[in-house]
Each structure stands twice: as C-alpha cells, then as structure tokens.
C-alpha cells in the first residue's frame, strides 16, 4: 500500500512483535497519576496511544464563543494512517468529530470523520447494528435506534475500536486506507439487523441513493452533502459486503420505510435482517470512493478481499507502529509517553488519501484524473492550521509524503485555479483566512522537500491571490486590509504578512530575487497596524483612523482571537515588533503579562494555547533575550494543558495541528517562522529522542533531565557548544546529535550578543 512510512527496513521486526503478542493494548485511559514512576514493562508504541484523549472538554473555563472549542473534538474510532475511511461511533450528529466523551448513548457508526475540526462536517453513512428489528421498522432519522453504552465496555487503540452496547450487541471496527471491516456479535434474538442512514450526514443531504443486493449480500450507496463551514458540496460512495445472508430487507425514503424494497433515491436508508441460525457473528467489509460505487467496490477488492477481521486489525497496528516509531523516546513517565504518542497518532490522521487504489481521483474540475505510479493525492488540507507546525513535522519525518501533499496542492491549483486554502474532497471551502497553502508549499521546501515544479508553484501562488486574499486591493494600496470594508481585517493583514514572508523565502530559494523582494516588502505591512499609543496591533479603517472600541481583549478585526493574541503573529519580524513595544525588556514584560494565563480563550487578553494564533508566542522569549522564560513557559504548557485523560487537549486538534505543536515542544525545538527552515529551542520532554528523518537519524540527548528542571545551561550541536537560540535546518538535516544540558534554575544561556543569528526575526 502506498501510504506507509519510508522506513521499510523496520517493518519485519514490528510485524513480528505484533504477531507474537508483543503489543500490550491499554484500556480507555491510564490508571497511573501524572508523575507516576517510569514503566518497568516494555510496551509497544501503539500501547501508549489513548484515542480518547481530546474527546472531552479540557476542564478549563476559557470563555469560548461556542462549545465546539472546549475540547479536542477528536474521534476514537478505527482509522488507518492518513486513511480515507474513519469508522467511528457518533454520539451526536451536529458536533465536530461526532463523539463527546460525556455522552452515554451512540446513534451509530459512520464512515467519515475529521479529527479536531471546529466545523460540523462528514459523518457520512451511519451504520447501526440492532439486536432485534421489528417487522415494521421506523426510519433511523427518528433516532429510535440510538443505544446506551458504558465506557467500561468501550476500548480504542490505533486501528481498532470496540464497544458492547447495552442492547447486547458487541461492535468491533478496524480499517485499511480506503476500507473498513466491522464485526458485530449479536445476542440471541429473532431479528438481528443492521440499519444504514445513507442520507444522515452531519450537514444533511442534497441527494442520496441506496441499493440492496440480496443475492450477493451487498449494499451500495451514495450521498451528496456539504463540506464543513461552506455551501459547497461533495459526493461520496460506499460498497458493503456481508458474510451472512439476508433474511429480509428494505429501504427508507426520508421517514417512510418500504419493506422488501431494494432501492431508494430520496432521503435514502436501508435495513437488512440477518439469517443467523447457528453463529451470531456478522462481518462486513465496506469500501469508500469519491468517484463511484464501482470504485468503492474495487477499493474493497484491492484492500479487503476477505472477511479476515483479525488479520486486518493486525496490519493496521503494524502500520501505526511504524508511524509512531518515527520518533522513539526514552525516559519520562507512562503518562508522559501516552500524551506524546497520542499526539503522534493525531499527527498522522490527516491530510487523507483521496485517490482510489488504482490511482484515480476526482479533481477540482469535476473530472477523473490518473496519478503516476507511487503518487498519492491528499485532501483535508487545512492550511490555516497545518502551515504553523504540522507541515514542518511531516516534512521532517515523512518527506516523501510531504512531497505528495505539495503536489496535491499544485494539482488542485491547476484544476481549480488556485492553491486551496481549506481543501475538502475536491472543493475549496475557503475556510478561515489567508493564503496558507502557499505557506505550506514554501515551508515544506525550506525543510528540504524538493522534486516538485517550483516555477509552477510560484506561478499558482501569485495568480491565486485575487481568490484567496479578501481585501487584496487595500492590502496593496493602503498597506493593510481596511476594517470598514472587510471582516477580520487586522487578522487578514497579519496572516497575509506571514504568507508574504514565506513566499519571499521560497522565491529567493528558487532564484527569483525580484519576486522575493516584492513579497518581503509587502510582509512589512503588519507594521501599518501597530498603534504606538496602546502597544498593540489594531484594526484600521480605510481613511486611516483606528477602529473604535479597542481593548487588548477586543476581537474586533480578528478571527478566533483578540488583539493581545494576534500581537505576537509576526515572528518573522519579531525584532521590529520588540522595538515598537519599546525594546526587548518591554517585550519581555508584555510576554510576562500575556502568559499570566495559558488558555484564556478568545475574549481575554492572555494566551490561548488551545488555538493556532498563539502557537509561536511562547518561543518569542528566545528572540527577546530571555530563553529561560521560553523554557519555563513551554514546560508549564506541557504540564498543565496536555494530559492523559479525555480532556487532555486544550483546544481543537484541527487535524493534528495542536498535536504537532506538542510533538515539537517535546523535542525541545519549534519551527516558529513559517517559510524558514530551522527551530527556536526549548525544554525537551524526555531524556532521549531519536528522530528518524527519511534516511537520517537525529538524536536529541538530554543531560541532567528532570521534569522539574526545564532550563538550559548549555547546548551542543554536533558536539560543538553553541550559544544561539536558533538551530538552522541545514545543521541537522543529515542527522547527528543535539545535546541539551539542563538546570533546575534559570541560566544565562542564549542571552549573549550573538544568541539571535542575523536574519532571524527580522526583515532587515
């Protein structure tokens, strides 16, 4: 299968470990308290993953605009790394991820999910096993098949989910890249059945259809529904095959059942009652495709030709073990390892494979396209979220996949006219703001991802601006987006400036100096919104006046944040920001005030580390001359906001964005400047981390490590002592070692006159 890690040499040992029962799977959480002693028992890496982390509110009271943002909004079900299909329980329909840990009943198990989104989306094709279906069944749309359950009867691990419903039906799920297998064990009843709500997607259905094929024990269906946070639509298809015959069957149209029917075209659903005279177990194989039902069936034949549930589950575990093993950690407690490897698990959920097993996919032009052998086309490209740290991590750990992500963006641009901002299926929902697909491409290139057409990339980036940049004429003419003309104007100005800096770096790298200078000059536009009187970036009107009603906690002109949180956005020009604030000492004082709270929500003038605008802010102490404060603040965030419990994520995971922040923080490195290859340094969370980067290994060694000793007293890069807070990518891209020497007290390391290398944190 094409979407596996490039470290194939590790597979035989991992597979053997799984086959021999080496994997020890935990229940739905860890019983050990935070700070428990390190494990004395060897465990597989999948055994450290708890998919329930992030399924409950974080426990803080951040004053969010809506309750969608009060937890990770992840799902606990069965998914293969980067898989098209994600088969997971849904406790709610109108809820991101479909699952809330505090709920006590399940409405069904749908085939598509997005992990950690703040928008309602997906939940296509809801399958629900029923212990005993009446002769005159009601529509699943009425919710009558919702069934209670207990977490004590629920288990989740990478590639596998199991629950015993209170009805007596046991549900087991596993997955491949494009297919899933379910195993239902029914209690001894007269009419064990399955109901499928084909038209029950989270955002409704503008078209749906289903076909029941009793002779071949199959059900096929299709739905057209809306992408998240948009009116644009996509169509997805499924083909399901069963190992037991149907005793009776029927379909629904909206709320009206038709017993004996084999087809429905409106508000579609289907049901089958199984003939189980001797064995109460039914196994189902289900394939997905965004092209056709025939393609869904072909994917099923290619990836799940048999009903061997256990073999498929083992293969999914091996695939996940490979991904998790890209970073091996030593030291720390069981809880700390669980938090880390669960973050790694979430990092490799998205983006998702979009092409079928034969390499065909449907493009932004509505036509079917064929990939070259070995290529993968991805969707669920959440650029506003992924450009900050996820594309960097994926470029380092799986550069071949990062190249496929870049080429996916470029194919979408060629077929749709611009690099997508938030690509779901074969449309751009234009969710959030900015031109961050461009930043993803530029940043991947800065971290060594090559082999794509850089000239075409730069051309698509430039030509797509009129579509992607609201208020572009003002941004170019006034030097900022005007608040009285365009919503979220201050946020747009800042995000465009970040993108422009990244594009400038990319243009320089590919030999387009004139274009680079143009974008570098535009990147300084953020300064036009800095108000010396308040020390903040403020929204400004088209005639030059400041927008009224300003306060540091004001959200006027900002999206998903406030003036205090967006103030730290221009990390690429942080030294200019510090000057405007009155110097580095004043900047440090402002950061101290900002970090009085770590997860304050959108309305308070303090840090909100559960959301993307604040991701880079703890690392700015490095540039402001007080790296000990970066180390102290990052350790506080790691300790207080990321935990081994269902509320252990401080905000929406947004397709692994928040989790990628944590993984980098645990490495003691953070790529704080999009478009620039390199890292600001912080406190590693383990005694040793071995980072497998393609064919090179980077060892991060931590001397005198303690969770309560987060301060750096020395750093050795490739055995040479350095006093710089920035480690360029070129210094480690071939592997080697970084040694961190720790202290329990703040030190003067990284505070010297050469601590910030020229060109870091400055446009000058």
Longest dimension (CA), the chain: 81
Give the number of C-alpha atoms closer than 13 A to the C-alpha of residue 756, restricted to the C-beta side: 20
Distance between CA atoms of 346 and 323, rounded to whole angstroms?
A: 11
Distance between CA atoms of 595 and 709, rounded to whole angstroms?
A: 19
Q: What is the CATH number of the domain that holds 318?
A: 2.70.98.10
With 90 as the cut, is the pLDDT of residue 699 above it? yes
Question: What is the predicted pLDDT for the residue at 42?
Answer: 61
Stronger pLDDT, 314 or 32, i.e. the higher one: 314
Q: Tell me, yes or no, whether 61 and 206 share the same domain.
A: yes
Question: What is the predicted pLDDT for the residue at 460?
Answer: 98
| Helix, strand and coil in the chain, % to nearest 5 | 30, 25, 45
pLDDT-based confidence at residue 372 (cuts at 50, 70, 90):
very high
Phi, psi for residue 653 in degrees, rounded to 5: -75, -20
| Domain-embedded: residue 147 | yes
Question: What is the predicted pLDDT for the residue at 136?
Answer: 87
| Domain-embedded: residue 164 | yes
Q: Tell me, yes or no, whether 246 and 146 share the same domain.
A: yes
As a whole number, mean pLDDT of residues 490-507 equals 98
Q: Tell me, yes or no, whether 163 and 30 share the same domain.
A: yes
Question: What is the predicted pLDDT for the residue at 68?
Answer: 54
Distance between CA atoms of 334 and 389, rounded to whole angstroms?
A: 25
With 60 as the cut, is the pLDDT of residue 41 above it? no
pLDDT-based confidence at residue 34 (cuts at 50, 70, 90):
very low
With 70 as the cut, is the pLDDT of residue 61 above it? no
CA 114 to chain centre: 8
As a whole number, mean pLDDT of residues 530-540 equals 97
Q: What DSSP character marks residue 640?
A: H
As a whole number, mean pLDDT of residues 301-325 equals 98
Burial class (CB in 10 A: 0-12, 13-18, 19+), 508: middle
List the single range of 2-11, 61-70, 337-346, 753-762 with lowest mean pLDDT: 2-11
Question: What is the predicted pLDDT for the residue at 664?
Answer: 98
Distance between CA atoms of 140 and 268, rounded to whole angstroms?
A: 10
| Domain-embedded: residue 722 | no
With 70 as the cut, is the pLDDT of residue 16 above it? no
Q: What is the dihedral of CA 650, 656, 657, 660, to 10 degrees?
A: 90
**Which of 457, 443, 500 has its CA nearest to residue 476?**
500
Distance between CA atoms of 268 and 538, rounded to whole angstroms?
A: 51
Q: Tell me, yes or no, whether 443 and 308 share the same domain.
A: no
| Domain-embedded: residue 39 | yes
Q: Where are the alpha helices (DSSP H) in 307-374?
A: 309-324, 334-347
pLDDT-based confidence at residue 13 (cuts at 50, 70, 90):
very low
C-alpha angle 713-568-571 in degrees, rounded to nearest 5? 65
Q: Tell me, yes or no, whether 315 and 213 share the same domain.
A: yes
pLDDT-based confidence at residue 63 (cuts at 50, 70, 90):
very low
**Which of 342, 347, 437 has its CA nearest to residue 656?**
347
109 beta partners: 89, 127
Distance between CA atoms of 165 and 297, rounded to whole angstroms?
A: 29
Q: Tell me, yes or no, whether 388 and 319 share the same domain.
A: no
pLDDT-based confidence at residue 9 (cuts at 50, 70, 90):
very low
pLDDT-based confidence at residue 69 (cuts at 50, 70, 90):
low
With 90 as the cut, is the pLDDT of residue 32 above it? no
User: Of 324, 345, 363, which marks where a domain is finished?
Assistant: 324
With 50 as the cut, is the pLDDT of residue 760 above it? yes
C-alpha angle 106-112-116 in degrees, rounded to nearest 5? 80
pLDDT-based confidence at residue 60 (cuts at 50, 70, 90):
low
Q: Are strands 233-242 and 170-175 parallel, antiparallel or unpaired?
A: unpaired
| Domain-embedded: residue 344 | no
List the single range of 4-13, 319-328, 423-432 with lowest mean pLDDT: 4-13
Q: Tell me, yes or no, whether 320 and 377 share the same domain.
A: no
User: Of 304, 324, 344, which marks where a domain is finished?
Assistant: 324
Q: Tell me, yes or no, whether 33 and 142 share the same domain.
A: yes
Question: What is the predicted pLDDT for the residue at 24?
Answer: 32
pLDDT-based confidence at residue 71 (cuts at 50, 70, 90):
confident
In the chain, the number of structural domains is 2
Q: Tell me, yes or no, whether 268 and 414 share the same domain.
A: no
As a whole number, mean pLDDT of residues 500-512 equals 98
As a whole number, mean pLDDT of residues 565-589 equals 98
Tens of pLDDT, residue by residue over 42-52, are 679 999 999 99
Tens of pLDDT, residue by residue over 187-224, are 988 899 999 999 999 999 999 999 999 999 999 999 99
As a whole number, mean pLDDT of residues 574-586 equals 98
351: cis peptide before it, omega within 30°? yes
Stronger pLDDT, 24 or 147, i.e. the higher one: 147
Give Cα separations from 207 to 226, 249, 253 (angstroms): 11, 22, 11
As a whole number, mean pLDDT of residues 457-471 equals 97
As a whole number, mean pLDDT of residues 87-97 equals 94
As a whole number, mean pLDDT of residues 47-63 equals 82
Q: Tell me, yes or no, whether 176 and 309 share the same domain.
A: yes
CA 269 to chain centre: 31
| Domain-embedded: residue 592 | no
CA 528 to chain centre: 33
Q: What is the dihedral of CA 432, 436, 440, 446, to 10 degrees?
A: -140
Q: Where are the alpha helices (DSSP H) in 20-104?
A: none
Phi, psi for residue 431 in degrees, rounded to 5: -65, 150
Give the predicted TM-score (pTM) of the model.
Answer: 0.94
Sign of the Cα torsion 596, 483, 764, 733 reads: positive
Question: What is the predicted pLDDT for the residue at 59?
Answer: 67
562 close to 574: Cβ distance less than 8 angstroms: no
Question: What is the predicted pLDDT for the residue at 58?
Answer: 84
User: Of 443, 468, 493, which marks where a domain is finished?
Assistant: 468
Q: Tell me, yes or no, whether 86 and 203 share the same domain.
A: yes
Phi, psi for residue 154 in degrees, rounded to 5: -125, 140
pLDDT-based confidence at residue 121 (cuts at 50, 70, 90):
very high
With 70 as the cut, is the pLDDT of residue 533 above it? yes
| Domain-embedded: residue 559 | no
| Domain-embedded: residue 555 | no
With 80 as the cut, is the pLDDT of residue 5 above it? no
| H-run or E-run covering 745 | none
Q: Tell me, yes or no, whether 71 and 176 share the same domain.
A: yes
Distance between CA atoms of 642 and 339, rounded to whole angstroms?
A: 7
For the chain, the average pLDDT equals 93
Question: What is the predicted pLDDT for the residue at 277?
Answer: 86
Give Cα separations from 758 to 343, 617, 651, 717, 725 (angstroms): 33, 20, 35, 18, 12
Q: Name all contacts of 601-604 with Cβ < 8 Å and 24+ positions apart.
A: 601/61, 601/62, 601/63, 601/64, 602/62, 602/63, 602/64, 602/65, 602/69, 602/555, 602/560, 602/561, 602/562, 602/565, 603/63, 603/553, 603/555, 603/562, 604/62, 604/63, 604/553, 604/562
With 60 as the cut, is the pLDDT of residue 14 above it? no
DSSP labels, 470-502:
TTHHHHHHTSS--TTTSTTHHHHHHHHHHHHHH
pLDDT-based confidence at residue 140 (cuts at 50, 70, 90):
confident
**List of residues 6+ apart from 494 with CB closer than 8 A:** 526, 529, 537, 566, 569, 570
Question: What is the predicted pLDDT for the residue at 43?
Answer: 76
Give Cα separations from 187 to 87, 88, 143, 407, 563 (angstroms): 22, 22, 21, 49, 58
Q: What is the CATH number of the domain that holds 388?
A: 1.20.1050.60
**Containing structural domain, residue 278:** 8-324
Between helix 454-463 and helix 399-416 the angle, nearest 10°, is: 50
């Amino acid at each position: 299968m094409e979407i596996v890690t490039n470290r194939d040499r590790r597979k035989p040992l991992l597979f053997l470990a799984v086959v021999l029962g080496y994997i020890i799977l935990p229940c739905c959480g860890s019983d050990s308290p935070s700070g428990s002693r390190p494990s004395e028992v060897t465990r597989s890496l999948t055994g450290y993953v708890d998919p329930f982390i992030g399924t409950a509110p974080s426990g803080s009271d951040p004053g969010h605009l809506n309750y969608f943002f009060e937890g990770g909004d992840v799902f606990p079900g069965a998914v293969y790394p980067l898989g098209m299909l994600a088969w997971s329980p849904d406790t709610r329909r109108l809820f991101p991820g479909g699952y809330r840990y505090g709920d006590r009943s399940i409405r069904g198990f749908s085939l598509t999910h997005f992990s950690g989104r703040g928008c309602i989306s997906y939940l296509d094709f809801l399958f629900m096993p029923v212990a005993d279906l009446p002769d005159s069944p009601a529509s699943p749309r009425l919710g009558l098949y919702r069934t209670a359950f207990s977490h004590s009867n629920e288990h989740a691990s990478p590639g596998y989910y199991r629950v015993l419903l209170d009805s007596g039906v046991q549900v087991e799920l596993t997955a491949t890249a494009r297919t899933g297998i379910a195993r239902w064990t029914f209690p001894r009843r007269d009419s064990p059945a399955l109901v499928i709500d084909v038209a029950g997607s989270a955002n409704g259905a503008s078209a749906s259809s289903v076909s029941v094929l009793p002779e071949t024990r199959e059900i096929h269906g299709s739905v057209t529904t809306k992408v998240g946070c948009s009116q644009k639509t996509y169509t997805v298809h499924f083909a399901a095959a069963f190992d037991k015959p149907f005793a009776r069957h029927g379909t629904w149209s909206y709320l009206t059942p038709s017993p004996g029917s084999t087809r429905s075209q409106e508000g579609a659903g289907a049901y089958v009652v199984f003939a189980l005279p001797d064995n109460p177990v039914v196994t189902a194989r289900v394939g997905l495709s965004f092209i056709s039902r025939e393609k869904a069936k072909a994917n099923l034949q290619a990836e799940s030709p048999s009903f061997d549930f256990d073999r498929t589950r083992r293969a999914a575990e091996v695939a996940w073990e490979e991904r998790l093993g890209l970073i091996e950690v030593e030291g720390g407690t069981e809880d700390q390892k669980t938090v880390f490897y669960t973050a790694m698990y979430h990092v490799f959920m998205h983006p998702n494979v979009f092409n079928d097993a034969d390499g065909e996919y449907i493009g932004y032009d509505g036509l079917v396209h064929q990939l070259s052998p070995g290529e993968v086309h991805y969707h669920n490209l959440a650029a506003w979220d992924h450009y900050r740290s996820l594309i960097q991590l994926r470029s380092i750990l799986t550069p071949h996949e990062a190249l496929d992500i870049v080429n996916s963006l470029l194919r979408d641009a060629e077929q749709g006219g611009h690099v997508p901002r938030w690509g779901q299926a074969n449309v751009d929902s234009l969710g959030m703001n900015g031109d961050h697909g461009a930043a993803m491409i530029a940043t991947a290139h800065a971290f060594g991802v090559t082999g794509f057409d850089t000239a075409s990339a730069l051309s698509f980036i430039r030509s797509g601006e009129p579509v992607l940049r609201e208020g572009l004429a003002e941004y170019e003419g006034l030097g900022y987006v005007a608040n009285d003309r365009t919503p979220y104007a201050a946020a747009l100005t800042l995000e465009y400036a970040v993108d422009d800096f990244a594009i400038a770096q990319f243009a320089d790298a590919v030999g387009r100096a004139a274009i680079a200078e143009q974008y570098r000059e535009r990147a300084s536009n953020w300064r036009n919104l800095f108000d010396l009187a308040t020390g903040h970036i403020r929204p400004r009107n088209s005639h030059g006046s400041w927008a009224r009603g300003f306060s540091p906690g004001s959200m006027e002109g900002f999206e998903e944040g406030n003036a205090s949180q967006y103030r730290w956005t221009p990390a690429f020009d942080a030294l200019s920001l510090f000057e405007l604030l009155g110097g580095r000492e004043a900047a440090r004082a402002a950061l101290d005030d900002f970090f009085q709270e770590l997860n304050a929500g959108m309305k308070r003038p303090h840090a909100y580390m559960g959301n993307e605008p604040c991701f880079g802010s703890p690392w700015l102490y490095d540039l402001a001359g007080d790296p000990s404060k970066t180390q102290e603040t990052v350790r506080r965030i790691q300790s207080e906001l990321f935990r081994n419990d269902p509320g252990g994520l401080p905000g929406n995971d947004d397709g692994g964005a928040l989790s990628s922040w944590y993984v980098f923080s645990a490495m003691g490195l953070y790529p704080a400047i999009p478009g620039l290859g390199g890292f600001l340094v912080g406190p590693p969370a383990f005694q040793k981390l071995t980072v497998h980067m393609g064919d090179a290994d980077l060892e991060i060694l931590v001397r005198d490590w303690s969770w309560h000793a987060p301060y750096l007293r020395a750093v050795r890069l490739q055995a040479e002592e350095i006093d710089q807070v920035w480690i360029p990518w070129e210094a480690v891209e071939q592997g080697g070692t970084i040694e961190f020497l720790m202290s329990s007290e703040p030190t003067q390391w990284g505070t010297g006159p050469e601590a910030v290398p020229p060109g870091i944190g400055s446009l000058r």
